[in-house]
Amino acid sequence: MPQLNPAPWFYILVASWLILTAMVLPKILNYVFPNEPNTQDTIKTKKDSWLWPWH
C-alpha cells in the first residue's frame, strides 16, 4: 500500500509547518490591538442599593 510510505508526505508536512511558523506566525504575533485593555482596580466600590419599589 503506497499511502503508508511516509517519506514524501512527512517532508511536505514538515516543510509546510516550517513555512507557517517562519512567515505567517510572526506577522500574526506582531498585530497590535487598537484598544489595549486597562487593568481593573483591586478596590471594590460600594454599590448603591435598589431604591425602586418592587410593585
Q: Is 8 contained in some domain?
A: yes
Whether the predicted pLDDT of 14 surpasses 90: yes
Q: Is 37 contained in some domain?
A: no
pLDDT in tens, 18-37: 998 999 888 888 887 777 77
Q: Give me the DSSP letters along 17-48.
A: HHHIIIIIHHHHHT---SSPPPPPPSSPPPPP
Q: Is 53 contained in some domain?
A: no
- DSSP-assigned letter for residue 51: -
Quick one: pLDDT band at residue 3, thresholds 50, 70, 90?
Answer: low
pLDDT: which is higher, 30 or 41? 30
Q: Is 20 contained in some domain?
A: yes
% of residues, the chain, pLDDT over 70:
82
Q: Is 43 contained in some domain?
A: no
Whether the predicted pLDDT of 9 surpasses 70: yes
pTM exceeding the 0.75 threshold for the entire prediction: no
Q: Is 50 contained in some domain?
A: no
* Domain around 1: 1-30
